[in-house]
Amino acid sequence: MFAVRLNQRDAVVPQIYGLLRHAIVTTKLVPGQCLSEKNMAEQLGVSRQPVREAFIKLAEAGLVEIRPQRGTFVMKISVKAVENSRFVREAIELAILDEGVGHVSPTFLAIQRDNINRQRVAAQAPDFEAFFALDEAFHRGFAEAVGCGHAWKVIENDKAQWDRVRFLTLPKASPMLDLARQHETILDAVEQRRLGDAKAAMRTHLREALKTLAVVVAEHPQLFEDETGHRTGGELSAPAIPRTPYREPIGQV
């Protein structure tokens, strides 16, 4: 069951989409799991129309497959989509640094320093979901600081598969304290107006997940497409990775 209440004063479809996207990215909804439009609507206290629209948006993001007369199923992770997403994200974030180095405010730098400190707290807990959210805020902050909010939306719309891999790497393959240090290296270079170093650090950071992708695929083969790209819809179990209890738990849907 979804232990959440939608804000009826805001658009409902983005809320449902965000809720389900987060559940898929954090492996609370696993590949092959069937999502019921009827059950979802009942759990969230809405009609089936906004749930249907949210499913369509999830399908466009490559997170679910809508099979007529059969149902909507969570899709496996596409390694090719992960690689493509990383390429697009890297190009945009490096361009954002071109705009940002030498133009960001002391207030922005202070906010980012505080974010990194909170990343360390989350890493030491460990709280994977809190760290993931702080990581997102760190990168989004650069785009917003230089007036490139739309560029971040482009990244956001394209990186769902990438986010799934990033979350899987947090427990072991990409230690959170190491990622926090990489963030600090990026911010130091930005503050000191060393554009080349900032871009090199960002490039290294964004390629971190790719370095460990093979390890993650080997550890969680049930989450990834096979070599032919064939997607299956059988029920699968959630991967045995450590994670803290989610504040908005999601059960069978």
Give the mean pLDDT of 29-44: 91
Q: pLDDT confidence of 2, banded at 50, 70, 90?
A: low
For residue 132, give both structure tokens.
């993931």
Which fold is adopted by the domain 79-214? Four Helix Bundle (Hemerythrin (Met), subunit A) (1.20.120)
What are the DSSP calls for 123-134, one per residue?
HHTT-HHHHHHH
Q: Quick one: pLDDT at residue 139?
A: 97
**Residue 38 CB neighbours (<10 A):** 9
- CATH 1.20.120.530 residue ranges in the chain? 79-214
Minimum mean pLDDT among 39-43, 136-140, 210-214: which range?
Answer: 210-214
Does the structure show a pLDDT above 50 at 201?
yes
Give CATH 1.10.10.10 domain extents, the chain.
1-75+231-253
- Is domain 1-75+231-253 given the CATH code 3.40.50.300 in the classification? no
pLDDT mean across residues, the chain:
86
For residues 52-91, one letter each, b for 16 or more C-beta atoms within 10 angstroms of the residue's C-beta and e for the rest, the string is: bebbebbeebbbbbeeeeeebbbbbbbbebbeebbeebbe
pTM more than 0.85: no
Q: What percent of the chain has a predicted confidence (pLDDT) above 70? A: 87
Q: Over the stretch 93-124, which tens digit does the pLDDT of each residue have?
A: 999 999 999 999 999 999 999 999 999 999 99
